[in-house]
A and B are shown apart, each in its own frame.
Chain A
Amino acid sequence: MAPALSATPAKNGAGKEQQFLEINMGPQHPSTHGVLRLKLTLNGEIVEDVEPILGYLHRSKEKLAEFAVYLKFAPITDRMDYNAPGLNEWGYILAVEQLLDYQVPERAEYLRVLHGELNRIGNHLLWVGTMGLDLGAISPFWWCWRERERVLEFLEQLAGVRMHTNYVRFGGVKFDAPPGWLKRVQDYMAELPLKIQELEDLLVQNDIVRARMIGVGVLPKDRAVSYGVTGPMARASGIGFDLRRYQPYSVYDQFDFDIPIADTGDVYARLLVRLQELRETARIVDQACKRIPEGPIVDARVEGSKQLRVKPRKGETYTRIESAKGELGYYVVSDGTMKPYRVRIRGPSFVNLAPLREMCVGSKIPDLIATLGSIDIVLGDVDR
Chain B
Amino acid sequence: MALFDAVAVTDSVLDAVAGVAGLDSPRWLAQLLVWLIGSVLIFSIVLTTGGLFTLVFRRMFAFITQRIGPNRVGPFGLFQLVADGLKLISKEDIIPARVDRKLFRLAPYLAIAPFVMAFAPIPWSGDLIFSNIGAGILFVVGISALSPLAEITAGWASNNKYAIYGGVRAAALDFSYEIPMVLAVVGVILLTGSPNTNEIVMAQRQVWFFVPQILGLFIFFAAALAKAGLVPTDLPEAESELVAGYSTEYSGMRFGLFYVVLFANILFIGALVSTLFLGGWLSPLGDLHGTTILGFGPLPAVPVPDPIAWILGDGLVWFLLKTVFVCFVIFWLWLTLPRVRVDQYLNVAWKVMFPLALLNLVIAAFVRWFFLG
Q: Which residues of A contact B337 (CB under 8 A)?
A: 136-137, 206, 208
Bound together, the chains give a CA A21 to CA B160 distance in angstroms of 12
**B115 interface residue (CB < 8 Å to A):** no
Contact status A142-B340, CB under 8 Å: no
Q: Which residue of B lies closest to A134 (CB)?
A: B240
In the complex, which residues 120-140 of chain A have their Cβ closer than 8 Å to any Cβ of chain B? 132-139
Partner of B335, one of A30, A133, A139, A212: A139
Contact status A369-B240, CB under 8 Å: yes
Q: Which residues of B contact A134 (CB under 8 A)?
A: 240
**A38 interface residue (CB < 8 Å to B):** no
**B24 interface residue (CB < 8 Å to A):** no
Bound together, the chains give a CA A366 to CA B165 distance in angstroms of 12
Q: Which residues of A contact B61 (CB under 8 A)?
A: 138-139
Interface size on A, residues (CB 8 A): 29
Q: Which residues of A contact B162 (CB under 8 A)?
A: 23
Q: Which residue of B lies closest to A31 (CB)?
A: B240
Q: Which residue of B lies closest to A370 (CB)?
A: B341
Q: Which residues of B contact A211 (CB under 8 A)?
A: 340-341, 344
Q: Which residues of A contact B293 (CB under 8 A)?
A: none
Q: Which residues of B contact A146 (CB under 8 A)?
A: 65-66
- Which of B338, B342, B344: most chain A CB closer than 10 A? B338
Q: Which residues of A contact B343 (CB under 8 A)?
A: 45, 364
**A291 interface residue (CB < 8 Å to B):** no
**A202 interface residue (CB < 8 Å to B):** yes
- A352-368 CB mask vs B (1 if < 8 Å, else 0) is 00000000000011110
B341 → A minimal CB distance (Å): 5
Q: Which residues of A contact B241 (CB under 8 A)?
A: 31, 365-366, 369
Bound together, the chains give a CA A241 to CA B241 distance in angstroms of 33
B163 → A minimal CB distance (Å): 11
Interface size on B, residues (CB 8 A): 28
Q: Which residues of A contact B339 (CB under 8 A)?
A: 135-137, 208, 212, 366
B229 → A minimal CB distance (Å): 12
B259 → A minimal CB distance (Å): 16
In the complex, which residues 299-339 of chain B have their Cβ closer than 8 Å to any Cβ of chain A? 334-339
Contact status A139-B341, CB under 8 Å: no
Contact status A136-B240, CB under 8 Å: yes
**B64 interface residue (CB < 8 Å to A):** yes
**A209 interface residue (CB < 8 Å to B):** yes
Q: Which residues of B contact A137 (CB under 8 A)?
A: 336-339
**B236 interface residue (CB < 8 Å to A):** no
**B108 interface residue (CB < 8 Å to A):** no
**B101 interface residue (CB < 8 Å to A):** no
Q: Which residues of A contact B232 (CB under 8 A)?
A: 136, 208
**A29 interface residue (CB < 8 Å to B):** yes
Partner of A30, one of B231, B234, B240: B240
- A30-73 CB mask vs B (1 if < 8 Å, else 0) is 11000000000000010000000000000000000000000000
Contact status B65-A366, CB under 8 Å: no
A136 and B243 contact, Cβ closer than 8 Å, known pairs A23-B162, A211-B344, A364-B343: no
**A143 interface residue (CB < 8 Å to B):** yes
15 sampled A-B residue pairs with Cβ under 8 A = A29-B243, A30-B239, A133-B240, A138-B334, A139-B336, A141-B65, A143-B65, A146-B66, A206-B338, A208-B337, A212-B338, A212-B340, A212-B344, A365-B242, A366-B241
Q: What is the interface of chain A, defined by CB distance below 8 A to chain B? A: 21, 23, 29-31, 45, 132-139, 141-143, 146, 202, 206, 208-209, 211-212, 364-367, 369
Please give me the 8 A-B residue pairs with the lowest Cβ-Cβ distance, nearest first. Answer: A136-B339, A142-B65, A135-B338, A137-B338, A136-B338, A31-B240, A23-B161, A366-B341
